[in-house]
Structure 1
Amino acid sequence: MLLFPWWVYLCIVGIIFSAYKLMTTAKEEEKIDQAFIEKEGRIYIERMEKEKERRMKRSVDEKDEQCENSAENNHSIA
Structure 2
Amino acid sequence: MELVFTTKSGKGTVKSMPIWIYFVIAGIIVSGIMAIKAARQEREVEDQWIEQEGQKYISRMNEEKRKKHLSKQDTA
Report the TM-score range of the alignment, normalised by the length of the smaller protein: 0.7 to 0.9
Q: Which residue of 2 aligns with 1:9?
A: 22
4+ runs deviating over 3 angstroms? none
Question: Could you say what the CA RMSD is over the residues aligned between the two structures, in angstroms?
Answer: 1.2
Larger RCO, structures 1/2 (Cα 8 Å, 6+ apart): 2
Gaps of 5+ in 2: 4-14
Rg larger in structure: 1
Q: Which amino acid aligns with 1:3?
A: S
Identity %: 33
1:7 CA displacement: 2.1
Q: What is the CA deviation profile of residues 20-72 of structure 1, one whole-angstrom value per residue up to 9, with x for unaligned ones?
A: 10111111111111111111111110000000000111111122xxxxxxxxx
Q: Is 1:60 matched up with 2:66?
A: no
Residue 32 of structure 1 is aligned with which of 37, 42, 45?
Answer: 45
The structure carrying a bigger strand percent of its residues is 2
Structure 2: distance between partners of 1:4 and 1:59: 81
Partner-residue secondary structure (3-state), 1:4: coil
Distance in 2 (alpha carbons) for counterparts of 1:49 and 1:5 = 67
Structure 1: segments with no counterpart, 5+ residues: 64-78
- Identify the residue that residue 20 of structure 1 maps to in structure 2: 33
Name the TM-score, length of structure 1 as normaliser: 0.73
Greater per-residue helix proportion: 1
TM-score (structure 2 length as normaliser): 0.75
Number of residue pairs matched?
A: 63
